[in-house]
């Protein structure tokens, strides 16, 4: 995508490529990471090049961000590791610092500066792994030999960058957390944000009800029983009509089952909830436990939380 277009192609030509290489490169893999890239561009006061992994909601989110005037010098879908883009970039702005692809790319190319965007609660896990509070790995991941070696190389390189003021977290999560405090002591810079750009460019949605239940990926991940989740949604709806916003990774069959519950209106916006709900007022929000509880608290003001 080119800025202002949802369907344009990549910028071509040697001169254009040379000029574009001066911008930080945001490599993102989820809708929240895309939103964080827009916030990063706003906070830094400079445009960024964006490469995003194709997946649910990604193209729709990119198009919406561009329509709202995100500071993207370019915004292109990508499959796999964008080696050429990364090699030309002076600064990497990374959405998933725990991924195997980032480990491989960082171990091979050794970036000169890295900013780590929010990846939900994994941001805290990443910070704790860098600080040595636990393994440099996702909690559910069993690392093989190659992944573990690449992880060690990546962690060592990132900590060397921290020692030369070349590593930063750009996050909406609490900088006073144990994990962020630990990496800050190692020289990692922390830059907080409150979704100021998202709130400023908000397009408040028209909702059929003010009571909103957030979807979850925990059923798909095997962390929450589907029947138990549906019962929780039903209890929330029993107190009054509600809107259910499915998570992008919820199985269609699960969403259909929730759609059949009395008092529930399922609304599939195709956007991350932080972007979709920005500007809404007076909501009563519930969830089955998600990092969006934290990010939405920064996006929304005056909305009631229920357990």
Give the DSSP letter of residue 13: S
Is residue 267 within 8 Å of 243, Cβ to Cβ?
yes
Give the three-state DSSP class for 189. Answer: strand
Q: Residue 121 gets which letter from DSSP?
A: B
Structure tokens of 84? 């050429």
The confidence score (pLDDT) of residue 156 equals 96
The pLDDT of residue 138: 84
Domain borders along the chain are 14-197, 202-305
Matching fold, domains 14-197 and 202-305: yes
Supply the pLDDT for residue 141: 66
Q: Domain 202-305 - what CATH class?
A: alpha beta
Write out the two tokens for 256.
Answer: 């259909």
Distance from C-alpha of 272 to C-alpha of 95, rounded to nearest angstrom: 15
Strand partners, 213: 244, 286
**Can you name the CATH fold of 14-197?**
Rossmann fold (3.40.50)
Question: Is 256 exposed, middle or buried, given 0-12, 13-18 or 19+ CB atoms closer than 10 A?
Answer: exposed
Q: Is 115 left (phi over 0), alpha (psi -120 to 50) or beta?
A: beta
HSE toward the beta carbon, residue 159, CA cutoff 13 A: 18
* Rounded distance between C-alpha atoms, residue 147 and residue 132, angstroms: 17
Q: pLDDT at position 304, please?
A: 64
pLDDT at res. 29: 94
In order along its 307 residues, the chain shows pLDDT tens digits of 544 333 334 434 333 444 456 899 999 999 999 999 999 999 999 999 999 998 889 999 999 999 999 999 999 999 999 999 999 999 999 999 999 999 999 999 999 999 999 988 889 999 999 999 999 988 776 768 888 899 999 999 999 999 999 999 999 998 899 999 999 999 999 999 999 999 999 999 999 999 999 998 888 888 889 999 999 999 999 999 999 999 998 999 999 999 999 999 999 999 999 999 999 988 999 988 777 888 888 898 766 666 4
Buried b (16+ CB within 10 A) or exposed e, 82-102: beebbebbebbbbbbbbbbeb
CB contact set of 229 (below 8 Å; sequence gap of 6+): 216, 218, 219, 254, 288
Rounded-to-integer distance, Cα 14 and Cα 19, Å: 9
Query: Which residues have a Cβ under 8 Å from the Cβ of 44 and sit 6 or more positions away?
Result: 24
Q: For 86, which DSSP code?
A: H
In this prediction, residue 15 carries a pLDDT of: 36
């Amino acid at each position: 995508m080119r800025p202002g277009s949802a369907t344009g192609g990549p910028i071509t030509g040697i001169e254009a490529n040379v000029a574009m290489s001066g911008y930080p490169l945001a490599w993102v893999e989820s809708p929240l990471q895309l939103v964080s890239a827009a916030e990063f561009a706003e906070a830094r006061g400079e445009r960024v090049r964006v490469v995003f992994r194709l997946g649910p909601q990604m193209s729709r989110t990119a198009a919406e961000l561009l329509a709202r005037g995100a500071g993207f010098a370019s915004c292109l879908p990508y499959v796999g590791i964008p080696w050429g883009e990364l090699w030309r970039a002076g600064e990497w702005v990374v959405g998933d610092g725990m991924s195997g692809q980032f480990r491989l790319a960082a171990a091979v190319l050794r970036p000169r500066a890295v900013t780590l965007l929010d990846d939900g609660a994994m941001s805290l896990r990443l910070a704790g792994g860098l600080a040595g509070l636990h393994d440099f790995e996702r909690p559910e991941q069993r690392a093989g030999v190659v992944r573990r070696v690449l992880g060690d190389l990546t962690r060592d390189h990132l900590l060397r960058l921290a020692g030369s003021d070349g590593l930063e977290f750009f996050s909406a999560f609490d900088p006073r957390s144990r994990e962020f405090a630990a990496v800050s002591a190692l020289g990692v810079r922390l830059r907080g944000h409150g979704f100021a750009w998202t709130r400023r460019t908000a397009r408040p949605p028209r909702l059929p009800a003010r009571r909103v239940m957030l979807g979850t990926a925990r059923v798909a991940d095997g962390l929450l029983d589907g029947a138990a989740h549906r019962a929780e949604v039903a209890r929330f709806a029993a107190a009054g009509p509600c809107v259910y916003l499915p998570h992008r990774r919820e199985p269609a069959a699960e969403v259909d089952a929730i759609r059949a519950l009395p008092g529930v209106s399922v609304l599939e916006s195709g956007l991350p909830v932080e972007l979709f709900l920005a500007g809404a007022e007076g909501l009563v929000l519930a969830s089955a436990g998600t990092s969006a509880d934290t990010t939405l608290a920064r996006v929304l003001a005056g909305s009631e939380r229920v357990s």
